[in-house]
Amino acid sequence: MTARESLETSLVGSPIERLEDAALLRGRGCFIDDVHEQGMLHAAFLRSPVAHGRIRAIDTSGARALPAIRAVYTAHDVAKFAKGSVPTIPLRLMSSPELVPFEQPVIADGKVRYVGEPVAMVVADTAAEAEDAIEAIALDIEMLPAIANRRAAVAAETLLFEKHGSNVAMHYEAAKGEARAQHTPYVRRERFAVQRHTAVPMETRGLLATWDGASARLTVKGAAKVPFSTRRVLAKCMELPEASIDLVELNVGGSFGVRGEFYPEDFMVPFAARTLGRPVKWIEDRRENLLASNHAREMDCELALACERDGTIVSLEGDVWVDAGAYVRASASIPPRSVAQSLCGPYRVPFVRITSHLALTNKTPTGTYRGPGRFEAEFFRERLLDMAARELGIDPVELRRRNLVSPTQLPYPLPTMTSPERRSELDSGDYAMALDRCLAEIGWRDKAALQGRLIDRRYHGLGVGCFVAGGAAGPRETARIMVEKDGSLAVYVGSASVGQGLETICAQIASDALRVPLERIRVFHGSTSYVSEGFGSYHSRSTAMGGSAILVAAESLGKRVRKAAAQRFACPREDITLGPELRAEHGGRSLALAELAGDGLSAEEAFSNAHITYSYGAAAAHVAVDARTGHVDVLDYVNVEDVGRVINPLTAVGQAVGGIVQGLGGTFLEHLQYDDDGQLLTASLADYMLPTASDFPNVRAVVLEHARSPCNPLGAKGGGEGSIAPVAGVIANAVASALVDFDVQPRELPLTPQRIWELIHDRERTTGSVR
Amino acid sequence: MKLPAFGYASPSSLSDAIALLAAARGTAKPIAGGQSLIPVLAFRLAKPALLVDLRNVPGLDRIRIGADGVRLGAMVRWCDIEADDRLRGAHPLLVDAVSHVAHYQIRNRGTVGGSLAHADPAAELPGVAVACEAELTLMGPQGSRVVSASDFFRGALSTVLTDDELIVEVRLPAWPNSRRWAFEEFARRRGDFALAGIVAFYDRDASGRATNTRLVAIGTAQYPRRLRRAEAALDGSPVDEQAIERAARAARLEVEPASDLHASADYRRSLVETLAERALLEARARADQAS
Amino acid sequence: MNEARSIRFDLNGKAVQIDVATHRTLADCLRHDLLQTGTHVGCEHGVCGACTVIVDGAAVRACLMLAVQADGARVTTVEGLASGDRLSPLQTEFRRHHALQCGFCTPGILTTAHALLTNEPDADRPRIREVLSGNLCRCTGYVPIVEAVYAARDAYRSERGTDS
């Protein structure tokens, strides 16, 4: 449906084509590297070539001597600027005092702790010359032993932070229930591991900072995801009032959680601009992106599932180890908390004790990546359920049905998290319905007989998994709607666009709420100058929070229109009726919005939320495994998810399918591999393998609107991170089902052909293997 | 990952190109399609002082088919091989192997000469060249020389080409219609370098037994070599399943792959056996179709 | 060693002439010298395909071509696909099928698909997938992209005068 046809029908729920598309299709988007400003200089970073060491000397004279070089900065310069010490990057969410010692300095300060850590910054006339100058800097580092994995971190023969007695920064606990039953008939203990991988958006990071000395204003373009939070941190580091910093969001080439958090470069580039009084641009190259943007997902666990003989779950206990990398960066507290809290999923688990441990290693720091902790938790738990089902002789689907929380049990308490304490509960939903729908979609009943059979050189298998995905994190989001002189509307929202179709969604919501046609609405998002306060896009919150804020602002605007019209008509406000396009009517007279616009009509409102919404669903896969090569063909993959309210079915399904394919990448292909010296071996897209168009053609997603969320006026649950979560568990279950005759039980990701081949041939993994 | 600065020349004759390379005394690199070379420069793994672009050198882009086989000029691109219908009959193995090379955009620029000179251990054309005992014509300041494919490759990314020499042409010997052949490779994703691959063909003697068996593995050694013991396991036998399994097992024992980031030695060995078996079965099936 | 060359080529139907450093890639020349920023750079080592442009009718990776190698060529970028204000049939199908989200990889996919369908308007889905496997997308999962390209075939067939 086009924008023109929009007035006739309700837009919310309609698969209208996106407003963003026309410009993007023409190549007329504006991404950060598309911006060219007068007098712009270019920054490049010298990054540590070793994983752990003490910086003895940095000789920048070779770089400074090059003609095109304007400045070279190290910790020494930053400390001078910042009154004595190099600022560190605070946690954005769920901070606690225990984590502060492990915050990353904005530039390496005395020590380097991971390959890729910024040690010096060069500013030059061109990007190529900046890169040339990097090679002219001489770095003298006293190498220290590298902590290459979490076991070495725990053993602590070397400390990353000498003042702290260990390499384990933090423990979190998810707890539920008073005391475990004394004796359960069945207990299954297992270890599982998920490999390090990450978001790898197609656009790398980039910033363009400009300092206007006359007005003492700093403008930073290239912001994403959480611009208001970034501004707050930058203001503190720069000792500037927030009001004199503008963070401007342009087109963003994907985030998936990784872009937009505060990184060292988010200080260094503005610092250079301010110091030099010239605009400074920095564009991350792909090698840097793989080395320096947040890594994610590396976790291993020891879990024990206890059940009755009929498969009724009694308890889930255990430990999860998170390999967090060398520093605790802005979003690092989320994955260890989330994995612990997500382990129960949509299942009834009376007793839970999960402890997650945040271990520091000499590798790139980590943070949130789409469905943080949930992808890992789903893999651990769904594998455990299938293994238990097999041993107990219960059909795996039946086992799940027996344990799914039923609608009458909602709201259902999730385990309580510590440090800081957070309680949450599953809000609304029919989990069994989603499972049934998923099984129907994949044709489970018809295909069940194929499991384990060898057809045409391949073994066939089916796998299933159920999930919930938390969204709509509070505390607030803000929207401002302004009436332009011609009566059209400008909608400003604090949510950030990372490519998910935010503008279209917001316009649909505003259009329906105010009965103004789409083409008379423009949406502005993300930049800090648009609203007084914003929180941004993470935790699948843009629709629920940003969209709800728009609804609240729309209501408020309606009130103001009434007030303004009442003054003109000299009548009570209650007597004004608002027609389509906010036309104010009273007793035969009417005023178009454009006529009232001169009065300066606008409304800015915040929507607050303290309750997490939970989208939920199930996923299933049909695979065929070549036992001789270990290659797995995904013949069919279905994700069914209830998101409460679908604003745009096109974008909702689009998000779901994109999430599935990312999940398949994480299951089969993607692996940030390090050697024992902490060197990243996969620092190019030739070695870090992303899914391509020919790898997973048979994926599909069904998006439902069954159970509205009670937590916001839209009834929307967050919908962008559900489909990625169950992928690994479902696929691994399908592979186990296919290879049942070989008694193959995948416990580690990625499921490379070699790993599957090794499981079949029962080889011992050598201790010297690359992790 | 901006490219380091370099000088650039695009000579209009082969002798000018060679003269430029010779004068640079090892500091220059020829550039053909650039699909392998430019990434090397982007990662700053090499910093040549001069690039000698062959794009304007005439006569290097011809595909000639005659009684002595198929002659591919060094600047023939993968897309040119795909587009030349004559090759389907003249050298089906070449066409099939080339269909596995990289991706659409790369195939529009990447060249035969570039691939042979770059000598990636997992590349398809070097494997085909060795299996077919192809002959490469090299040209240098001293004139031309012909080197057989099995003598051309010396190691991973290493050949006998001197700094001032260029590949001009590669000749694949004439391909008999009755030949049975297959190309099998295993890569993680379509277009990736193979973790292992097998080039296989054989002819048949009057009694239908295999002769002239060629088995070459790619991706399992520093450079492709004929697996002569595996070949011998098939030569002289009727091509039945036992003989095929025997040859495949022999191939597995004969290769000495390394372990690396993408695959272990053991896994590669296993792949070699699987791929050799499947390739020979496929080759044999081709026979059934033809007769 | 920082040499410059004067080059001339046809860009989207217009003649351009520009001085470029010999180590400037075609991608950077288009983006930063000619300010045609529709072509995006995603990796600079020839894997992601975001920089794909059409040179003399062939889809190529602009990050793997030197600008000087485009001298005398006919170059088409994403900016040359639409005519005036109207999106091309291929672009229209992308919009209809929601074949883009963040839009960063989109220009390279459009030029690749345009080159493919111009030469092979009957390309089937496996062929489309095979050709597009040289273009990485992180947002869409590729399914709607393949459908959009498939749906656009009709427009290319009718351009050729073929009755389908």
Q: Identify the CATH number of the domain in which residue B24 sits.
A: 3.30.43.10
Indicate which of C24, C76, C98, C116 best probes the interface with A, i.e. most A CBs within 10 Å of its own CB: C98
In this predicted structure, what is the pLDDT of residue A500? 83
The answer to whether C38 contacts A21, with C-beta atoms less than 8 Å apart, is no
Here the tokens at position A36 are 């060219």
In this predicted structure, what is the pLDDT of residue A284? 98
In this predicted structure, what is the pLDDT of residue B290? 55
Q: Average pLDDT for residues A124-135, to the nearest whole number?
A: 97
Residue B5: name the closest of B54, B49, B52 by CA. Answer: B49
Q: Do B189 and B282 lie in a common domain?
A: yes
Q: Average pLDDT for residues A43-51, to the nearest whole number?
A: 98
Q: Is the pLDDT of residue A540 over 80?
A: no
Whether residue B192 contacts residue A689, with contact meaning beta carbons closer than 8 Å, is answered with yes
Here the tokens at position A108 are 């390496």
Strands B50-53 and B7-9: parallel
Where do the DSSP E strands lie in A360-446?
Answer: 412-413, 416-417, 425-426
Indicate which of B38, B44, B185, B189 best probes the interface with A, i.e. most A CBs within 10 Å of its own CB: B189
Q: Average pLDDT for residues A493-500, to the nearest whole number?
A: 83
Q: What is the CATH number of the domain that holds B155?
A: 3.30.465.10
Q: What is the CATH number of the domain that holds C20?
A: 3.10.20.30
Here the tokens at position A545 are 């929070």
As a whole number of Å, the end-to-end CA separation of chain B is 55
Q: Do C98 and C43 lie in a common domain?
A: no
In this predicted structure, what is the pLDDT of residue A755? 97
In this predicted structure, what is the pLDDT of residue A528? 82
Residue A459: strand pairing partners? A454, A625
Q: Do B184 and B265 lie in a common domain?
A: yes
Number of Cβ within 10 Å of residue A557's Cβ equals: 29
Q: Is the pLDDT of residue B288 over 70?
A: no
In a domain, B1, yes or no: no
- Chain C CB within 8 Å of residue B56 CB: no
Whether residue A524 contacts residue A531, with contact meaning beta carbons closer than 8 Å, is answered with no
Closest partner residue to C44 (CB to CB) among A285, A498, A661 is A285
> Half-sphere exposure (CA, 13 Å, Cβ side) for A34?
18
Residue A514: name the closest of A561, A479, A478, A477 by CA. Answer: A561
Closest partner residue to A757 (CB to CB) among B44, B192, B270 is B270
Q: A699: which chain C residues are within 8 Å (Cβ-Cβ)?
A: 141, 143
In this predicted structure, what is the pLDDT of residue C2? 64
Q: Which of B107, B142, B172 delimits the end of a domain?
A: B172
In this predicted structure, what is the pLDDT of residue A9? 63
Q: Which of C80, C103, C132 delimits the end of a domain?
A: C80
Q: Is the pLDDT of residue A361 over 80?
A: yes
- Chain A CB within 8 Å of residue C23 CB: yes
d(C-alpha A591, C-alpha A579), whole Å: 10
Here the tokens at position A342 are 């997500």
- Chain C CB within 8 Å of residue A189 CB: no
Q: Do C71 and C94 lie in a common domain?
A: no
The answer to whether A27 contacts C47, with C-beta atoms less than 8 Å apart, is no
Secondary structure element (H or E) that encloses residue C129, with its range: helix C125-132
- Chain C CB within 8 Å of residue B43 CB: yes
Residues 37-96 of C with CB under 8 A from A: 37-45, 47-48, 50, 77-79, 81-82, 87, 91, 94-96
Q: A502-513: per-residue pLDDT in tens?
A: 889 899 999 999
Residue of B nearest to A753 (CA): B188
Rg of chain A taking only CA atoms, in angstroms: 27
- Chain A CB within 8 Å of residue C14 CB: no
Residue A668: name the closest of A756, A741, A759 by CA. Answer: A756
In a domain, B198, yes or no: yes
Q: Average pLDDT for residues A714-723, to the nearest whole number?
A: 83
Any idea of the CA torsion for B113, B119, B125, B127, to the nearest 10 degrees? Answer: 150
d(C-alpha B106, C-alpha A215), whole Å: 51
Residue A537: name the closest of A202, A201, A226 by CA. Answer: A226
Whether residue A700 contacts residue A443, with contact meaning beta carbons closer than 8 Å, is answered with no
Whether residue A505 contacts residue C98, with contact meaning beta carbons closer than 8 Å, is answered with no
Residue B181: name the closest of B194, B208, B199 by CA. Answer: B199
Closest partner residue to B104 (CB to CB) among C28, C64, C134 is C134
Q: A238-262: per-residue pLDDT in tens?
A: 999 999 999 999 999 999 999 989 9
Closest-CA distance, B281 to chain A, in angstroms, reads 13
d(C-alpha A147, C-alpha A678), whole Å: 7
Strands B153-155 and B158-159: antiparallel
Whether residue A322 contacts residue A331, with contact meaning beta carbons closer than 8 Å, is answered with no
Here the tokens at position A701 are 């997603």
The answer to whether C64 contacts B190, with C-beta atoms less than 8 Å apart, is no
Torsion A421-A426-A432-A438 (CA) sign: negative
CA A624 vs. chain centroid, Å, equals: 31
Any idea of the CA torsion for B55, B60, B61, B62, to the nearest 10 degrees? Answer: 160
d(C-alpha A315, C-alpha A31), whole Å: 49
Residue of A nearest to B264 (CA): A754
Q: Do C119 and C147 lie in a common domain?
A: yes
Which has the minimum average pLDDT: A28-42, A755-769, B113-127? A755-769
In a domain, B2, yes or no: no
Q: Is the pLDDT of residue A28 over 80?
A: yes
- DSSP letter at B120? -
Q: What is the CATH number of the domain that holds C134?
A: 1.10.150.120
Residue of C nearest to A693 (CA): C133
Whether residue A515 contacts residue A580, with contact meaning beta carbons closer than 8 Å, is answered with yes
Closest partner residue to A692 (CB to CB) among C42, C98, C136 is C136
Q: C3: which chain A residues are within 8 Å (Cβ-Cβ)?
A: none
Indicate which of A195, A754, A766 best probes the interface with B, i.e. most B CBs within 10 Å of its own CB: A754
The answer to whether C35 contacts A499, with C-beta atoms less than 8 Å apart, is no
Closest-CA distance, C150 to chain A, in angstroms, reads 13
Domain extent for C33: 4-80
Q: Average pLDDT for residues C75-92, to the nearest whole number?
A: 95
In a domain, B95, yes or no: yes
Q: Do C14 and C71 lie in a common domain?
A: yes
Whether residue B258 contacts residue B156, with contact meaning beta carbons closer than 8 Å, is answered with no
Q: Average pLDDT for residues A636-655, to the nearest whole number?
A: 94
In the numeric block, the tokens 């799914």 are attached to A404
Q: Do B203 and B113 lie in a common domain?
A: no
Q: Which of B151, B172, B193 delimits the end of a domain?
A: B172
In the numeric block, the tokens 């201790």 are attached to A767
Q: Do B68 and B42 lie in a common domain?
A: no
* Confidence label for A236 from pLDDT (cuts 50, 70 and 90): very high
Q: Do B148 and B236 lie in a common domain?
A: no
DSSP assignment of A484-532? -TTS-EEEEES---SSS-HHHHHHHHHHHHHT--GGGEEEEES-TTTSS
Contact partners of B by the rule of 3+ C-beta pairs under 8 A?
A, C
Torsion C54-C58-C62-C65 (CA) sign: negative
d(C-alpha B199, C-alpha B184), whole Å: 7
Q: A382-408: per-residue pLDDT in tens?
A: 999 999 999 999 999 999 999 999 999
Contact partners of A by the rule of 3+ C-beta pairs under 8 A?
B, C
Residue of A nearest to B262 (CA): A687
d(C-alpha C77, C-alpha C66), whole Å: 16
In this predicted structure, what is the pLDDT of residue A70? 98
Q: A669: which chain B residues are within 8 Å (Cβ-Cβ)?
A: 188-189
Contacts of A44 (CB under 8 A, 6+ apart): A121, A122, A124, A127, A130, A131, A133, A134, A282
Which has the minimum average pLDDT: A406-420, A520-534, C141-155? A520-534
Looking at per-residue confidence, does A716 or B275 come out higher?
B275
Any idea of the CA torsion for A646, A652, A657, A658, to the nearest 10 degrees? Answer: -140
Q: B75: which chain C residues are within 8 Å (Cβ-Cβ)?
A: none
Here the tokens at position A716 are 């929307």
Q: Average pLDDT for residues B177-201, to the nearest whole number?
A: 96
As a whole number of Å, the end-to-end CA separation of chain A is 49
Q: B24: which chain C residues are within 8 Å (Cβ-Cβ)?
A: none
Q: Which of C39, C59, C80 delimits the end of a domain?
A: C80
Torsion A568-A573-A576-A580 (CA) sign: positive
Closest-CA distance, A444 to chain B, in angstroms, reads 28
Closest-CA distance, A651 to chain C, in angstroms, reads 7
Rg of chain B taking only CA atoms, in angstroms: 19
Closest-CA distance, C161 to chain A, in angstroms, reads 26
- DSSP letter at C25? B
Residue A354, CA distances (Å) to A188, A337, A468, B142 in order? 15, 10, 18, 75
Residue A279: name the closest of A209, A230, A221 by CA. Answer: A209
d(C-alpha A326, C-alpha C132), whole Å: 38
Here the tokens at position B10 are 């695009």
In this predicted structure, what is the pLDDT of residue B289? 55
Q: A40: which chain C residues are within 8 Å (Cβ-Cβ)?
A: none
Q: A87-100: per-residue pLDDT in tens?
A: 999 999 888 899 99
CB burial of residue C32 (10 Å; 0-12, 13-18, 19+): middle
Residue B250, CA distances (Å) to A485, B242, B254, B270 in order? 83, 12, 6, 11
Domain extent for B159: 63-172
Q: Do C17 and C41 lie in a common domain?
A: yes
Q: Which of C44, C62, C80 delimits the end of a domain?
A: C80
Q: B2: which chain C residues are within 8 Å (Cβ-Cβ)?
A: 23, 28, 44
- Chain C CB within 8 Å of residue B191 CB: yes
Q: Do B111 and B17 lie in a common domain?
A: no
In a domain, B205, yes or no: yes
d(C-alpha A337, C-alpha A324), whole Å: 13
What b-and-e string marks burial along B180-207, b requiring 16 or more CB atoms within 10 Å of the CB? bbbbbbbbbebbbbbbbbbbbbbebeee
d(C-alpha B254, C-alpha A731), whole Å: 36
Q: Which of B156, B172, B188 delimits the end of a domain?
A: B172
Which has the minimum average pLDDT: A444-453, B30-39, B163-172, C81-90? C81-90
Here the tokens at position B71 are 């002659």
- Chain C CB within 8 Å of residue B53 CB: yes
Contacts of A249 (CB under 8 A, 6+ apart): A223, A224, A227, A496, A497, A525, A526, A527
Q: Is the pLDDT of residue A677 over 60?
A: yes
Residue type, A641: E
Where do the DSSP E strands lie in A269-368?
Answer: 280-283, 299-307, 313-323, 351-359
How many domains in chain C?
2
How many domains in chain B?
3
The answer to whether B190 contacts A695, with C-beta atoms less than 8 Å apart, is yes
DSSP assignment of A197-254? B----SSPPEEEEEEETTTTEEEEEEE-S-HHHHHHHHHHHHT--GGGEEEEE-----
Q: Average pLDDT for residues A307-316, to the nearest whole number?
A: 96
Residues 218-257 of B with CB under 8 A from A: none
Q: A609-639: per-residue pLDDT in tens?
A: 877 888 999 999 999 999 999 999 999 999 9
Q: Average pLDDT for residues A357-378, to the nearest whole number?
A: 97
Assign B41 to helix, strand or coil. Answer: helix
The whole-chain average pLDDT of chain A stands at: 92
Residue type, A550: I
Residues of chain C above pLDDT 70, percent: 96
Strands B180-186 and A602-608: unpaired
ipTM over 0.95: yes
Q: Do B166 and B194 lie in a common domain?
A: no
Count of A-C CB contacts under 8 Å:
179
Percentage helix, strand, coil for chain A under 3-state DSSP, each rounded to 5: 30, 25, 45
CA A641 vs. chain centroid, Å, equals: 18
